[in-house]
Amino acid sequence: MDVVDPTTGERIDSYDDHTERDVDDAIARADSAFEDWRDRPLREREALLASAADVLRENIEEYASTMTREMGKPIEQARSEVEKCAWVCDHYAEHASAYLQPEGHASPPGADVQTVYEPLGPVLAVMPWNFPLWQVFRFAAPYLTAGNVGLLKHASNVPGCALAIEEVFAEAGYPEDVFQSLLIPSDLVDGVVADDRVKAATVTGSGPAGRAVASKAGAELKKTVLELGGSDPFVVLDDADLDAAVETGAWARNLNGGQSCIAAKRFVVHTDVYDDFLDAFVDEVESYTVGDPMDEETDMGPQARQDLVEDLHGQVEASVDAGATVETGGEPIDREGSFYAPTVLTDVPEGCPADSEELFGPVAAVWEVDDEDAAVRRANDTQFGLGASVWTEDRERGERVARRIDAGCVYVNQLVKSDPRVPFGGVGASGYGRELAGAGIREFVNRKTLWVE
């Protein structure tokens, strides 16, 4: 696996792929490690997770720099990602015991009936490059602490991040082989899923990747959790705080170079405030500093790979050809590296890519709507259902509109985000299952009914 710095286009590192024999050996070691790990007291597993949080914080500069070099995330955002990984470790170190507490049930006199939560075994995680540490720790912190063991198939452009995560658990004192990174191409994933020793799989990534893993796992009757793409609406009603909506909305679209499944992608704005919002929104987007992600002043670095720039620009060009108007940006930046200009599109025709597809980069599409009902219809006019954001100074109105939007999570007067304290996931083409909080840690366990009389 060659690592190409997206800031310069130069190869900066290379890693040997694991072979099929290597993978078989890794699964065997994971299966063996599970037999001891599952019997570790939960409090011990929590303590080890707290140690992982310490390792992350102690090495924050190293891990942040690895992310920035491999996929172009601005260094300050990379540091924040490492800190968020430590936070999810802190959270489950504190709350896993409560989340996995046996649940009692009504029973006849003399009987004790409860649900207990027991681990399944080795779990495969297929993870993306856009948040190369956070996406993995969002999986690993709860599932390892529940007593499972992890096998990570990370994106091929972030192998250094994959090995760094393995290092975190080793430095924290986890037993050998409880967490392993597999440096393998996608065509070996089916074999891992089909292996009898692997008990479940989780995917964060594209729709095709999720469908492929889910199809194979379904044929093997194995549990899956899918967190796939999104085309999140950002609804601005006529009574919204425009300054806050503009500032937060622009950042919600362009954070991490716009490469986020929960980024605000479709801006649905009430006609009474449309012109003011659009003018301010374009100004805000144009104020961002795009450049070297190692520079502390940079707001947006390069896209993660050159092919992603080409794909994104193809979607923009097709949308413009269909009738969309470019308010700002609309093309790659003429400089070394994989840079794309922050872009705002209006007059977006139905069925063009900006309307019907996920744009995974710094491109915002803006619609004008006449009223609240039209805003809800536009927000729901998508195959995706990951997140949504609603802006209004009337909290009751915000909750009412939020309940009408078809999504796994809706935030009122806040950008969509994943938080260890609340369940996270989508509906429709955005996947199924939940990560984080109690719902997340209980996804990959046997919910065993235990009746004692």
Angle at 252 between CA 247 and CA 254, to 5 degrees: 95
In angstroms, the Cα distances linking 384 to 49, 265, 357, 429 are 34, 12, 9, 5
Contact 152, 164 (CB under 8 A): no
Distances (CA, A) of 39 to 42, 121, 143, 205, 275: 8, 12, 14, 32, 61
User: For residues 387 and 289, is the Cβ–Cβ distance under 8 A?
Assistant: no
Q: Which of 166, 227, 358, 368 is catalytic?
A: 227
Q: Which amino acid, 368? A: E
The distance in angstroms from the start CA to the end CA of the chain is 57
Complete edge-to-edge strand list for the sheet that includes strand 179-182? 179-182, 149-153, 122-126, 200-204, 223-227, 431-432
**Angle in degrees, 0-180, between the axes of helices 42-58 and 159-171, rounded to the nearest 10:** 120
Q: How many CA atoms lie within 13 A of 70 on its CB side?
A: 30
Residue 261 is among the residues annotated as catalytic for this protein: yes
Distance CA 261, CA 377 (A): 21
- Catalytic residue (choose from 261, 327, 368, 435): 261
**Total residues belonging to the chain:** 453
Q: Give me 264's structure tokens.
A: 């605000």
Q: Cβ(31)–Cβ(197) under 8 Å?
A: yes
CA distance 131 to 399: 29
Smallest CA-to-CA distance from 190 within 3, 99, 228, 198 is with 198
Helix (H, G, I), strand (E, B) or coil at 411: strand
The answer to whether 100 and 443 have CB atoms below 8 angstroms apart is no
CA 369 – CA 371 distance, rounded (Å) = 6
DSSP per position, 73-90:
--HHHHHHHHHHHHHHHH
Q: In what order do the strands lie in the sheet with 112-119?
A: 103-105, 112-119, 445-452
Q: How far is CA 49 from CA 29, 130, 200, 435, in A?
A: 21, 24, 21, 17
Residues recognised as catalytic: 227, 261
